[in-house]
Amino acid sequence: MEINNKVLEFMPGNETVYKAVDMIMSEDPQDQLTFPEGFLNSLTPTGLPPYELKLKIGCIIMLLRNLAPSKGLCNGTRLVITKQYSGKIH
């Protein structure tokens, strides 16, 4: 991840930071106490982006999942960011 952030520093334009929303999906309220949000945000499982994803227009990203293989959107496909959404999603 460090090399990605270094390359991003040299690219022109404004950086947008996207943060993941982490929570335990369980009906047991004790699970919320066992896994605090800070701990969940510190995890970086293989194949998933980090808690904070920094992007700029023009940067190259790679798909990590087969989203739509029939349309060419499969694992390993490289894409270029052309637009960014910086508003809040409710």
Q: Could you tell me the residue ranges of all domains in the chain?
A: 1-81
Give ∠ CA 35-37-39 in degrees, rounded to 5: 65
pTM: 0.64
What pLDDT digit, counting tens, does each position of 9-68 carry? 899 998 888 887 666 666 776 655 567 777 777 777 776 777 888 899 999 988 888 989
Q: What is the DSSP letter of 88?
A: P
Radius of gyration of the chain (CA): 16
Question: Phi then psi for 41, rounded to 5 degrees?
Answer: -70, -20
Q: Take residue 79 and report the two structure tokens written for it.
A: 């894409």
Q: Are 62 and 78 in contact (CB under 8 A)?
A: yes
Query: How far is the C-alpha of 37 from the C-alpha of 29, rounded, in Å?
Result: 14
